[in-house]
Amino acid sequence: MNHLDGSDRRWILVTGSNRGIGRATALKLAGDGFGVVLHCRGEVERLQALRDDIAAFGGASRALVFDIADRAACRAQIEADIVASGSYYGVICNAGLARDAVFPGMADDAWDTVLRTNLDGFFNVLKPALMPMIRSRRGGRIVVLSSVAGQIGNRGQVNYSASKAGLIGAAKSLALELASRNITVNCIAPGLIETDMIESAPRQEILKQIPAGRLGSADEVAALAAYLCSDAAAYITRQVIGINGGMI
Ligand code: NDP
């Protein structure tokens, strides 16, 4: 259990936490005693409902709304939040999207949007958060949601796979820069997780690729993210941890 006393509570920003894996992760972290900075781009009502759920079991949260592809908005919102409420102990870079198409039919916008969001989002969110985290001298945790598609590729996801592979390189490099400051940086690479993101995916086809014979749940990914944020995981850094039912 982390510091439940408000004064030294450790706060973790979870991007994209109004639904899916981010929501489950925010709930788990709040249950573990962290304060959670919730975030999304649009669906503010869901964020408020989540804040109520967290408050109901005595957890602490606050909420930010911005587009992670918008560098100026990320900087303005995160800097203002840190000035008002203090630096983050951790960041879960979870927000992301997919715009699938086979490569010859992939629109310029599908490439640009996915790379600007998933990969640039890493820079846009972590850049304003990092120096205050370092200056606090408390160590810290950065967890980045990559994907099995970033490890082995996936048909129809050249853009998404490129962004998720890029995140692995970025996270490993940042891990090297931050290891001596006791800030760990790791990637989680999920396989297929039951969320809105895979709503339109061909389920029967997908299940054939998963030795476990089922999709993963957001709670299962959240448990891994929370472990990586825990004190017990202090010696795990620069890793890519798969959670995929045996897909690779
Ligand atoms: P969902 O589609 O359920 O949720 C995506 C979240 O990201 C939402 O909170 C959404 O906010 C937010 N988001 C998307 N684009 C932006 C943006 N430009 N700015 C701010 N927030 C944004 O996704 P999942 O929970 O399934 O996925 C979470 C992460 O895990 C993603 O990075 C995804 O790539 C990765 N992943 C998921 C897998 C799966 O099978 N589900 C497999 C492998 C990796 P809003 O609702 O406001 O748009």
Give the pLDDT confidence of 13-36 residue by residue, as tens digits.
Answer: 999 999 999 999 999 999 999 999
> Who lines ligand 1 at CB under 6 A?
16, 18-22, 40-43, 67-69, 94-97, 117, 145, 147, 190, 192-193, 195-198
Decide if pLDDT at 4 tops 60: no
Q: Average of pLDDT values for 68-90? A: 98
Q: Which atom of ligand 1 is nearest to the CA of 196?
A: 3
Give the pLDDT confidence of 106-160 residue by residue, as tens digits.
Answer: 999 999 999 999 999 999 999 999 999 999 999 999 999 999 999 999 999 999 9
Q: Average of pLDDT values for 57-64? A: 98
Decide if pLDDT at 3 tops 60: no
Range of lowest pLDDT (37-41, 67-71, 92-96, 196-200): 196-200
pLDDT of residue 7: 59
- Report the separation in Å between the CA atom of 134 and the middle of ligand 1, taken as the mean of its atom positions: 27
The preferred substitution site among 144, 145, 154 for testing ligand 1, maximizing ligand atoms within 8 Å of CB, is: 145
Task: Determine which one of 88, 89, 160, 235 is catalytic.
Answer: 160
DSSP string, 81-106: HHHHH---SEEEE---------GGG-
Give the residue from 134, 119, 117, 8 showing the smallest Cα distance to 66.
117
Burial of 63 (0-12, 13-18, 19+ CB in 10 A): middle
89 in active site: no
- Report the separation in Å between the CA atom of 96 and the middle of ligand 1, taken as the mean of its atom positions: 4
Q: Which atom of ligand 1 is nearest to the CA of 65?
A: 20
Chain center to CA of 105: 29
Give the residue from 161, 190, 148, 152 showing the smallest Cα distance to 103.
161
Burial of 91 (0-12, 13-18, 19+ CB in 10 A): buried
Whole-number average pLDDT of the chain: 96
Decide if pLDDT at 81 tops 50: yes
pLDDT of residue 8: 86
pLDDT of residue 198: 93
- Report the separation in Å between the CA atom of 137 and the middle of ligand 1, taken as the mean of its atom positions: 30
pLDDT of residue 1: 47
Give the pLDDT confidence of 201-241 residue by residue, as tens digits.
Answer: 889 999 999 999 999 999 999 999 999 999 999 999 999 99
Decide if pLDDT at 179 tops 70: yes
- At residue 39, φ and ψ (nearest 5 deg) are -160, 145
* 21: three-class secondary structure by DSSP: helix
The preferred substitution site among 39, 163, 192, 197 for testing ligand 1, maximizing ligand atoms within 8 Å of CB, is: 197
Q: 43 falls in which pLDDT band (50, 70, 90)?
A: confident
